[in-house]
Amino acid sequence: MNWYPDADETVVVRFTANFASGLHPAVAGQRYFRDPERRDIQGELAGWPPGPQFTPHSRGDRAARRTGRALGIGIPLVLNLAAEVLGALGTPFGGSDGNGSPQEPADEVEDFPVLWAAPGTLARTLPWQLDPGRRPAGYRTEAVLTDRRLVLLGVGAGLGPADVLAEIPRDRLAGAEHLVYSEARMDVRLTFADGSWARLSTGNPDNAAKVTAFLGGELRVLTEADLTDAQRARVARFTAALPPGFQPPVFTAKPGGIVLVESALRSKNGRSEEVSAIYLNADGESQAPAGA
């Protein structure tokens, strides 16, 4: 499952990557592939196998589903249903929860495009394996964002090397937006230089924030050569103490000359990760930036 950058390449973040799934009840668990006229383009995507077909749930469908569940479960859910209906009177989109409220109702309530691509645009070349509804069981997809490119990887259930599904040069990545109305607030809209885009789930909100900040020019990633001698010596001790399996450290510049050093250990199924991190000042001593 390992993939390594070139010797002169710096990894910003490696993360689980999938086409996102709708959160709002109208499109929960659904995903659509659209052109700018909102036509379904699944049949136009070269080499893609057939996938699930979705239809947004109407308000009546959603009420019927909840009522059916209430009849089977009893009074508590009926009361919850009543509270939900009353709460919805105050907002046209059903209120908010721990994931916030819809930011873009047209794309998060009425529809849920995860691919927005006119003919001939880059988004149409993304690998179909990013779709959880199409790829084989036990297969997962990851993304590696570096200072030079975005690499999309396919990882099987065995111990073989990762499949490189796609590589996108940095200059073709126009930017990213953190879409907080999503499961665990972990979606991003990745926009390409030609205006096409994809909505991806990144595994956790920290990954979404890093992708957005780096492509927006707000996150500066360093190489080991950028560190002071004292910092490099401390990093050597830090990495030597890590258990086997941790990835090479990533260095991020923080205010006041502080450097954040992070190394991640991904679980075998790719669904979680453990991160070990330290802050270092120029003298190689542990020091967090102000406000951290």
Q: Measured between alpha carbons, how far is 16 from 21 in angstroms, rounded to an integer?
A: 14
**pLDDT score recorded for residue 131:** 98
Instruction: Indicate the DSSP class of residue 86.
Output: H
**pLDDT score recorded for residue 273:** 72
Tokens encoding 130: 């990013």
**pLDDT score recorded for residue 88:** 38
**pLDDT score recorded for residue 82:** 37
Q: Which CATH architecture has domain 11-56+100-215?
A: Roll (2.30)
Residue in 52, 144, 59 with CA at minimum distance from that of residue 93: 59
* DSSP H or E stretch at residue 153: strand 149-155
Dihedrals φ, ψ of 234, to 5°?
Answer: -70, -40
**pLDDT score recorded for residue 157:** 78
Q: Measured between alpha carbons, how far is 96 from 103 in angstroms, rounded to an integer?
A: 11
**pLDDT score recorded for residue 114:** 98
**pLDDT score recorded for residue 213:** 95
Length of the chain: 292
Instruction: Indicate the DSSP class of residue 40.
Output: B
Q: How far is CA 86 from CA 82, 83, 89, 91, 290, in A?
A: 6, 5, 5, 10, 44
Q: Measured between alpha carbons, how far is 255 from 282 in angstroms, rounded to an integer?
A: 12
Q: How far is CA 114 from CA 41, 74, 246, in A?
A: 12, 37, 32
**pLDDT score recorded for residue 141:** 97
Contact 142, 18 (CB under 8 A): no
Residues of the chain short of pLDDT 50, as ranges, are: 65-96
Instruction: Indicate the DSSP class of residue 6.
Output: -
Contact 126, 190 (CB under 8 A): no
- Domain boundaries of the chain, sorted by first residue: 11-56+100-215, 221-280
**pLDDT score recorded for residue 185:** 96
Q: 3-class SS at 238?
A: helix
32-34 and 259-266 strand pairing: unpaired
Residue in 233, 219, 221 with CA at minimum distance from that of residue 284: 233
Q: Measured between alpha carbons, how far is 254 from 252 in angstroms, rounded to an integer?
A: 6
Dihedrals φ, ψ of 277, to 5°?
Answer: -145, 150
**pLDDT score recorded for residue 37:** 98
Q: Tell me the whole-structure pTM to 2 decimals.
A: 0.81
**pLDDT score recorded for residue 73:** 40
